[in-house]
Structure 1
Amino acid sequence: MAGTAAASYDEKWLQELLFRHPELILLDGIETGSGGVVPLCRELPIPRPGGNVFLDVLGVTRTGRLVLVECKLWRNPQARREVIAQIVEYAALLRSWSFGDLTARLKQKLGSTHANPIFAQAEKHWPDLDEADFVDGITNSLAHGDFALIIAGDGIRSDLHAVASHLNGQRAGLAKLSLLEIQLWSSGSGQTLIIPTIPLRTEVLQQRVIISETGMPLRLEEPTSSETGDVAETAIERTINPGQAERKALDRAFWQRFIEEVRFDHPDQAPARHGGANWVKMELPDPAGWLTAFRSSGAKEEIGLFLRLKGDDGRRLFDELATDLETLRSESDLPLFAQVRAEHPFEADLGVSKPRSAFADEDQQLLWLKDAANRFITMIRPRLSQFSETTA
């Protein structure tokens, strides 16, 4: 922004302006044939160790390439350099997500019930869009870190070009970094003229989406299951105290209803399946193995969910999750607990539980478990993807 009107506007205003008027982003001028950009959401929360960060604007092109926009007013040199570090970090974090991770997070952010909210938004702009090709494009954009990174501000200085050029030497997947200048002028009658421009040198700027904070190159990992077999299942049985044998048939019927009725916002999540006498499992990528949903009886009657983490990888993941526990609670809206069960060998749980007496009947128990399981899965899967990238 420049001119007489600049002082009366802030970064939130600029963020909102670009979201509501994506034609100002001038993506066709940056990448010929891109077809413009459709905005998906503002302030997208992206988890990282230490708490969430928030991307100003996330958009997508007709080909499924993701567009990341950060807005910054250039009031001091430090802010100019920090915004480059921010957008590069956000790109690195997003690169560890799958299409399912992104879909689930957008469903949560937008309050959408659509099976594919990204395609639903894009189809409004491009009615002839092919869903399968579009989804493949987004999947490839995430897997290869192939993003359009755009810094929008009120003035592009030479030092910004220098820092951006330095990023070309970084390793990992390619993404283009472009600089968008927003000039703002006010007339004597109170009208405001907004002029977006692309500094010439940004047409050739290119940065390689970075390695992680620990220096590890990022790449997408396929989810696998870690714990299998009778020994692990017996350990789960001991944890939940399944109760008397004569109740097993009724308990199984309860969990069969859970399996049939639970719905997950994360499209990569496989259906729940029976685990044992009063618990079910929901498969997750390593090192989590699975999320357990249970009902206990006897001296401590509870219902709940827990993620059991073991070994060296489990310890590292647990330490990250425990450090971010308040963020996880806020994000999932669940009163999560983090508990170390044993040090040698390491074993710890991240979970949530409630006394069975808090519910009037089994229908209420089922409603709570279905909702809590969906919230837990939506919260944990992006973090598992990110952990897999940084430990690969």
Structure 2
Amino acid sequence: MNTQSPHITIVLGTRPEIIKLAPIIRACEARSTSYSVIHTGQHYSKNLNEVFFDQLELPQPDYNLAVGSASHGEQTGEMIIGIEEILLEEGTDVVLVQGDTNSVLAGTIAATKLDCEVGHVEAGLRSFDRDMPEEKNRVLTDHAADYLFAPTEQSEALLLEEGLPKDRIYVTGNTVVDAVHQNRELASQKSSVLEEFGLNDTEYGLLTAHRAENVDEKNTFMNLLEGVERVGEELGVEFLYPIHPRARGQLEEFGLQIPEHTQIIPPQDYLDFLQLQSNAKVILTDSGGVQEEACVLNVPCVTLRENTERPETLDVGANCLAGTAPHEIVETTNMMIQTERGWENPFGDGTTAKMILQTIIQSQQQEAV
């Protein structure tokens, strides 16, 4: 191992991972740290992948496994095989993964079998819903990882409750803050999405709904959409819905109607989506990452789930759980629209990526002595 700069391999495969690991890639570039990027191809739409690297002015990934869609087992297994081959070739010291996807689990398994060290960015998040594949992925990854980069002290406490040793846990904040700080100005310069949809002088809401538990069951998806329609009618909010391909397919399969006060638009690249979030009156979402971004951007958020692994957003008053019952969506949205903005951001000061990289380098150098 090179004691001056250990080789770090960053494994990612979805849009949120690209966004949240981009600050670490930039930190590696700034410090001339030896690193490589493996893109598993878990999200295989060009609009959700390569364009992100171009627009965020990041180097293209060194490897792309192009795994695409498959069952959990097939997808994860194919990733493990591909990642293992690359790690052996690269002579990797530390593998960095972020979040709770199959790419995260595959990167962790491949690395631990080769005796590489694993760093889990955003460790310690828990929804306590074991029916969610994401919950299982994040728990398994935390218990295998050597570096647990917890975004908050609350996340650290959950890791300690599960018996994980304190010397593996580092409270660093969340790279979502780094990403928003680094890219908000870029979005205002590069994005014309507000002009495109005629939103410059218009108040609007933003809707995202894509999770399997919300869109794969007809009645649940129907209730969610009815709730959004009632918000439009009763509260006078017009929504934009950048629809995920999965959700669009289910919408068509179930024969569901688009809410009257909702305009469906294609999936947006990150800078356009960040601009839409920044200027929204309220955001309705089932995405964990969007909950965080809304909190950092000071935009009221309503979460269309019964639980969240981002309880800090609830604690500071930036977010509220509504589930998918129509009347709850209306009541919660009405409350959040009237809430005072200016809550404290619980996720750090935007230096998380630098802290993570410094921790790894120092630890690796100490081990080598």
TM-score (norm 2): 0.29
Q: Which has the higher strand share?
A: 1
Determine which structure has more spread, i.e. the larger CA radius of gyration. Answer: 1
